[in-house]
Amino acid sequence: MALLTIRDALNQALREEIIRDENVFIMGEEVAEYDGAYKVTRGLWKEFGDKRVVDTPITELGFAALGVGAAMAGLRPVIEFMTFNFSILASDQIINHAAKMLYMSGGEFKVPIVFRGPNGSAFQVSSQHSQALEAFYANFPGLKVVMPSTAADAKGLLKSAIRDDNPVIFMEQERMYGMKGEVPEDDDFTIPLGVADIKREGKDCTIVARSMTVPMALEAAEKIQQEFDVSVEVIDPRTIKPLDIDTIVSSIKKTNRLVIAEESHSFASVGAEITYQVMDHAFDHLDAPIKRISTVEAPMPYARNLEAAALPSVDKIIAAVKEVCYI
């Protein structure tokens, strides 16, 4: 095992897939000579040149369209958005073209493309740069949505996304790029899309968390165990669409309680979908109402203290677990 940051694990996945498949290339703003806005593409342009790592103008709709066309022609583009907030400008290409082309062409055109970059909040970047857009993209058939929370997951899931024949929305978290974890030293290490991971086993309560809230949930689980002797299971879906609801339901049947921690707003969120599916598949196994921890229903403040108050936290997750466990 190698100890890598999430940033370097993503870089390693990109490098290995460029070497493995001559059809893979990266395109986006500042991905080449500048080594990427968050240094995920560091060193790749120097190693592979202009045709494999392509700098673009500041025109998300334009280079997303080039990527979709390239994918239809048989290439495997990896399109980097400097932030998924900017992907809103390219949403026509992502939703009306990439997501629908296989269906509208009667199966004639596959679109093997990955749209990747940071999603959700950063550090004091305010309202227009702090949106968690996974529920938005997961709403459209034809798109797969992936959100890694560890270095190993980042590498294994990105490699699987690049090899997938469908358009994949690959959402990283800017706050997590520097987090370290063990990653298998294997050029062919992949993690299948659509398979959740049990990050911590427990028997008294289930927390379903993703991306930034996974380390929060793990910290909360440890504190609850030590203080109240309550055993908490933490599940990371990893892939939002397709969603591995079976792993979540199996956990509920064991723990009988559920807390959902997510960075997005609560209305029409992924957490709302998980809540419905758990009610549909495991209602009789619930011993308490499901609790959700989300970002407050307001544009993200700029002030550091207000930003912290708006976002999920370890303390908020602990309070929710205590509530469903009647502590």
DSSP labels, 241-282: ETT-HHHHHHHHHHH--EEEEEEEESTT-HHHHHHHHHHHHH
Dihedral sign, CA of 32, 178, 14, 166?
negative
Side chain identity at 98, as an amino acid letter?
A
Side chain identity at 111, as an amino acid letter?
V
Which of these is catalytic: 17, 129, 172, 273? 129
Phi and psi at residue 37, to the nearest 5°: -60, -35
Which of these is catalytic: 60, 174, 263, 307? 60
d(C-alpha 325, C-alpha 170), whole Å = 34
Residue of 281, 277, 280, 282 whose CA lies nearest to 257: 282
DSSP labels, 155-211: HHHHHHHHH-SS-EEEEE-GGGTT-EEEE---TT----TT--EEEE--SSEEEEE-T
Side chain identity at 150, as an amino acid letter?
T
Note if 60 is an active site residue: yes
Note if 265 is an active site residue: no
Strand partners, 79: 27, 115
142 and 102 in contact (C-beta within 8 Å)? yes
Residue of 196, 140, 144 whose CA lies nearest to 169: 144
267 and 296 in contact (C-beta within 8 Å)? no
The angle formed by the CA atoms of residues 97, 103 and 107, to the nearest 5 degrees, is 115
Question: Which residues are part of the catalytic machinery?
Answer: 60, 129
